[in-house]
């Protein structure tokens, strides 16, 4: 009951913080939310030219494939990036008002998730129209998107809390963002890699399983773009990784929360 009462009390604050994050992001912007699509569309166009025409990728409807991968990446990496900076950006609120601080990174990540939602609204009908697979696996899509969001919340809580004490966290994220993007299966699949690359099975296995976002990207691509069921291994990985990240994030955040106001 106490938990329920706490959620009811903090619900309006969470919604207000989420709306404020969105307003600040698009303040004085003529296109508003439309700007969130410009960057992924430009990226899709660039990679479509490079990998479809210059390298001849065999993936059909390649631009749409890229767009789906970027949707998952925007949800995940965009979320942990804004989450890691959220407590410092709201330092005055943290130091002056007493409330569950986890609401701040959760609100920032939720506001960022709107970008992925807009991309999903565009990608879903196109994938339904273009897919050569079955539409039945789409019933699993909300589950894998929810698991991706849970993973993002969990890691976002960890990074936001640690960043209060070690301010290098957000700079590390900025440094590893581009290489992390390129080793994630966003503009390729492991099955379509060149024959020379596929000979290195150990490296591919490391890229698949040591990269926490890879199985999530693949699962969403399978259900939304290819119209197939994700493999049992990817499914189990997503469930376990999301649960571990969420629990670890919550426990670590609670442990570091008491001294946050002092550090800020």
Q: Where would I find the H helices in the chain?
A: 2-25, 35-47, 62-89, 91-96, 103-130, 141-165, 169-182, 195-198, 201-209, 214-220, 232-256, 260-263
Structure tokens of 57? 């990728």
pTM greater than 0.95: no
Q: What angle (nearest 5°) sits at the alpha carbon of residue 261, between those of residues 257 and 264? A: 115
Tokens 């807009």, residue?
A: 118
Distance, CA of 144 to CA of 237 (rounded, Å): 11
Residues near 155 by beta carbon (within 8 Å), at least 6 away in sequence: 80, 83, 212, 245, 249
**C-beta separation of 103 from 10 below 8 A:** yes
What integer pLDDT is reported at residue 1 of this predicted model?
Answer: 37
- Burial of residue 17 (number of CB atoms within 10 Å: 0-12, 13-18, 19+): buried
What integer pLDDT is reported at residue 40 of this predicted model?
Answer: 76
What integer pLDDT is reported at residue 262 of this predicted model?
Answer: 67
The structural domains of the chain, with segments of one domain joined by +, span 13-263
Kindly provide the b/e burial profile for residues 39-62, where b requires at least 16 CB atoms within 10 angstroms of the residue's own CB: ebbebbeebbeebbeeeebebebb
**C-beta separation of 198 from 204 below 8 A:** yes
Q: Please tell me what DSSP assigns to residue 61.
A: S
What integer pLDDT is reported at residue 101 of this predicted model?
Answer: 84
pLDDT by 10-residue block (mean), the chain, 264 residues = 50 78 66 68 78 74 91 95 90 75 91 90 91 90 97 96 88 92 90 69 89 97 95 97 96 88 67
Residues near 190 by beta carbon (within 8 Å), at least 6 away in sequence: 198, 204, 207, 208
Task: Determine the length of the chain.
Answer: 264
């Amino acid at each position: 009951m106490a938990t329920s009462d706490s959620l009811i009390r903090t619900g309006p604050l969470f919604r207000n913080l989420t709306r404020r994050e969105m307003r600040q992001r698009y303040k004085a912007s003529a296109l508003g939310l439309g700007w969130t699509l410009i960057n992924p569309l430009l990226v899709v166009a660039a990679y479509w030219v490079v990998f479809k025409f210059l390298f001849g990728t065999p993936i059909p409807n390649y631009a749409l494939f890229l767009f789906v991968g970027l949707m998952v990446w925007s949800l995940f990496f965009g979320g942990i990036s804004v989450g890691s900076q959220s407590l410092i950006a709201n330092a005055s609120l943290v130091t002056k008002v007493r409330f569950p601080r986890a609401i701040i990174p959760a609100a920032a990540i939720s506001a960022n998730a709107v970008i992925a939602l807009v991309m999903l609204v565009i990608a879903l009908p196109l994938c339904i129209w273009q897919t050569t697979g079955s539409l039945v696996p789409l019933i699993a899509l909300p589950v894998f998107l929810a698991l991706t969001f849970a993973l993002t919340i969990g890691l976002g809580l960890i990074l936001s809390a640690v960043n209060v004490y070690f301010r290098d966290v957000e700079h590390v994220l900025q440094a590893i963002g581009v290489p992390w993007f390129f080793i994630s299966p966003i503009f390729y699949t492991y099955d379509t890699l060149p024959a020379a690359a596929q000979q290195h099975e150990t490296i591919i296995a490391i890229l698949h399983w040591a990269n926490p976002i890879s199985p999530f990207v693949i699962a969403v691509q399978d259900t939304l773009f290819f119209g197939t069921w994700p493999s049992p291994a990817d499914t189990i990985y997503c469930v376990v990784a999301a649960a571990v990240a969420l629990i670890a994030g919550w426990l670590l955040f609670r442990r570091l929360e008491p001294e946050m106001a002092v550090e800020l």
